[in-house]
Chains A and B, each alone.
Chain A
Amino acid sequence: MRLAIVVAVAVLSLIPVAFIISNSFMSDGEAAARYTSKITPESSFGFIYNNIHYMDMGFVPDVISLSAWRLILAQDPTHLRFLWNSLILAIPIVLGQLIIAPLAAYGLERAKSKHKEKFFFAYIIIMLLPMQALLVPHFIMAEFLGISGNYAAIIFPAIFATFGVFLIRQQMKGFRKEIIEAAAIDGAKELQIFLRIVLPNIKPTLVALAVLTFAEAWNIVDQAVVFIRDPYQMPLSVHLSTGLAGNMGIVFALSTLLMLPALIIFIYGQDDLSEGVIK
């Protein structure tokens, strides 16, 4: 019974990934035949009716073909440009978060001011708001600074996203305070304590934050639609859903391409993902 549930959940989790990856190796013709919506009027015995073609979902291509991959990687490299756009957005966001958030979390945990919890409360509110609500202040500031239309309008607010501060501070609460106090009495500077004692101890949390932030930054849709005007500047996540006009031949290869970096970082960081969030 237990085993059946485990296997069922595992299979369900894997099916979409398997579907997308395996379908990326379909020939152009097969993908089009399987998934393009077609309504063909037919007539028989004097009646005219619409013959709807239902999608023929398959996990194993009839013929394994690299044509879709060849197209997006070699023949029409504009697609790679969108991958590049996504990287240019996601990498600074992840690096920035990894610098800003631990510092702030440590500072808030160590500060003795009564007001710190008010700031932290504000951080929690900001963290919980839906992106569209945050986009209003982001938009106002981007217009004011004249960076609207640039990647900077997306990257800077994302670097200062408050989820990381919340997550790391939550972990630090379980951290042994005596060690820090002892080091402080020994005359260690705050920065030394932070770098030598605290950072090594929250490494799993940093990895978890990196994985979660990357998954989020790699998935940017709303911010790009509001801030980016040039269609060629869009990240791959937006290009995939808007720029293909139902070209089923390459949809799956591009979906796989979009998935791969997120998967690689996830698999690299998976050991720390749960441990880093719950400790």
Chain B
Amino acid sequence: MKILRNGKIWAFVLPSLIGVTLFFFIPAAASLFYAFTDAGGRFIWFANFADIITNPVFQLATRNSLWFIAISVPLNMIISFLLAMLLQNLKHRKIFAVIFMLPLVIPSGSIVFFWNTLFADNGAINGLLLRMGAETVPWFTTNWSFAIIIMVFLFKNIGFNMVLFMAGLSLIPKDYYEAAKIEGAKSFATFRHITFIYIMPTSFLVLMMSIINSFRIFREIYLLYGPYPHQSVYMLQHFMNNQFLFANMQRLSVTAILLSAATIVLVIAVFRGQRKISDTFS
């Protein structure tokens, strides 16, 4: 009876599981085969991995992607959280929330013309600089291109994440704060023991979405700078895109496997960290 009931429950998961098995698990296993063989199908151990890891272009792309995530994700979370704290009890919150979330849904293809008009070599900002008597800046062909992408990412995500944090903050029961006040808790203590703890589930969600979106910003990078951008914004996705061009399954598989392994490590670290934080503070 119990098994039957359990079996019925799995029937709900089945459609999704079939799809994921078909389009992910099975072909991912196939990509393992590519990763350990050469183009002729001969087993060559880790030669493909060694080839990729020592590839300077792959190293550059990995470094850039890591830097991008390491800078953009925390920056995004900190700024949107601070803004949410600041605007917590805002009047007309609903209307502002709509406006703040707007950048998230604007398609990349539409928005790039705006950024291009601003930052191109003959763009509006350089025109303005020149008129003010300053030198023009080649935004797209120097390290500035990295800073611009960080800004584009923040522009797209801060509003939405801020609204999520605001929603999360409004869920914390007001009596907690009142009780803390009565007990004479300092505002930092209140923050540490109430706000910080109860915003954790929201932070976890925002963190996940930030990581996903930090990869998705590749579309803006690609549409703005093309397939061979300045070396500071050459990402893992550029590297993989160019391998798709040659349908180099060995390299593609190895890169995808390395990325998956890195993601597994990251997720385990996040889960452990989350548990540790809620253990220490609560």
Are B108 and A219 in contact (CB-based, < 8 A)? yes
Are B100 and A13 in contact (CB-based, < 8 A)? yes
* Residue A137, interface by CB 8 Å: yes
Residues of chain A contacted by B266 (CB below 8 angstroms): 128
Are A190 and B12 in contact (CB-based, < 8 A)? yes
Residues of chain B contacted by A165 (CB below 8 angstroms): 16
The stretch that binds A, out of B49-57, B83-91, B138-146, is B83-91
* Residue A267, interface by CB 8 Å: yes
Residues of chain A contacted by B264 (CB below 8 angstroms): 125
**Min CB gap A212→B, angstroms:** 8
Residues of chain B contacted by A15 (CB below 8 angstroms): 114
The residue of chain B having its C-beta at the shortest distance from the C-beta of A113 within the complex is B6
Contact A16 to B267, CB < 8 A, known contacts A37-B122, A123-B20, A262-B105? no
Residues of chain A contacted by B25 (CB below 8 angstroms): 122
Are A10 and B96 in contact (CB-based, < 8 A)? yes
* Residue A181, interface by CB 8 Å: no
Are A237 and B11 in contact (CB-based, < 8 A)? no
**Min CB gap B35→A, angstroms:** 10
> Hey, what's the 0/1 contact readout for A24-50 against B, CB within 8 Å counting as 1?
000000000001010100000000000
* Residue A72, interface by CB 8 Å: no
Are A54 and B124 in contact (CB-based, < 8 A)? yes
Are A14 and B252 in contact (CB-based, < 8 A)? no
Contact A9 to B83, CB < 8 A, known contacts A157-B23, A251-B113? yes
Are B102 and A17 in contact (CB-based, < 8 A)? yes
**Min CB gap B241→A, angstroms:** 6
Are B19 and A13 in contact (CB-based, < 8 A)? no
* Residue A201, interface by CB 8 Å: no
Residues of chain B contacted by A133 (CB below 8 angstroms): 240, 255-256, 259-260
Are A137 and B113 in contact (CB-based, < 8 A)? no
Main secondary structure of the interface of B (DSSP, over half): helix
Are B215 and A2 in contact (CB-based, < 8 A)? no
The number of chain A residues with a CB under 8 A from chain B is: 102
The residue of chain A having its C-beta at the shortest distance from the C-beta of B100 within the complex is A13
Are B15 and A103 in contact (CB-based, < 8 A)? yes
Are A137 and B31 in contact (CB-based, < 8 A)? yes
**Min CB gap A74→B, angstroms:** 21
Q: In whole angstroms, how far apart are the Cα atoms of A136 and B12 in the complex?
A: 28
Q: Could you say which of A136, A165, A215, A226 has the most chain B C-beta atoms within 10 Å of its C-beta?
A: A136
* Residue B103, interface by CB 8 Å: yes
Q: In whole angstroms, how far apart are the Cα atoms of A236 and B235 in the complex?
A: 25
Contact A259 to B107, CB < 8 A, known contacts A55-B124, A141-B23, A222-B219? yes
Contact A221 to B108, CB < 8 A, known contacts A55-B117, A103-B16, A170-B205? yes
Residues of chain A contacted by B10 (CB below 8 angstroms): 107, 111, 113
Are B215 and A222 in contact (CB-based, < 8 A)? no
**Min CB gap B122→A, angstroms:** 5
Q: In whole angstroms, how far apart are the Cα atoms of A194 and B8 in the complex?
A: 12
Contact A259 to B106, CB < 8 A, known contacts A274-B97, A278-B167? yes
Q: In whole angstroms, how far apart are the Cα atoms of A267 and B106 in the complex?
A: 12
Within 8 A of A (CB), among B63-97: 83, 86-87, 90, 94, 96-97
**Min CB gap A195→B, angstroms:** 11
Residues of chain B contacted by A226 (CB below 8 angstroms): 244
> Hey, what's the 0/1 contact readout for A165-184 against B, CB within 8 Å counting as 1?
11000100000000000000
Residues of chain A contacted by B269 (CB below 8 angstroms): none
Are B98 and A267 in contact (CB-based, < 8 A)? yes
Residues of chain A contacted by B16 (CB below 8 angstroms): 100-101, 103-104, 160, 162, 165
Are A128 and B164 in contact (CB-based, < 8 A)? no
Within 8 A of B (CB), among A125-163: 125-141, 144, 156-157, 159-160, 162-163
**Min CB gap B61→A, angstroms:** 11
Contact A219 to B219, CB < 8 A, known contacts A133-B260, A190-B9? yes
Within 8 A of B (CB), among A228-250: 236-238, 240-241
Contact A106 to B87, CB < 8 A, known contacts A57-B124, A137-B23, A236-B109? no
Q: In whole angstroms, how far apart are the Cα atoms of A259 and B109 in the complex?
A: 9
Residues of chain B contacted by A238 (CB below 8 angstroms): 109
Chain A residues near B (Cβ < 8 Å):
2, 5-6, 9-10, 12-17, 19-20, 35, 37, 39, 52-57, 99-101, 103-104, 106-108, 110-113, 116, 119, 121-141, 144, 156-157, 159-160, 162-163, 165-166, 170, 190, 194, 211, 215-216, 218-219, 221-222, 225-226, 236-238, 240-241, 251-252, 255-256, 258-259, 262-263, 265-267, 270-271, 273-275, 277-279
Chain B residues near A (Cβ < 8 Å):
5-6, 8-17, 19-20, 22-28, 30-31, 83, 86-87, 90, 94, 96-114, 117-118, 120-124, 126-127, 130, 155, 158-159, 162-164, 166-168, 171, 201-202, 205, 208, 211-212, 215-216, 218-219, 222-223, 236-237, 240-241, 244, 249, 252-253, 255-256, 259-260, 263-264, 266-267
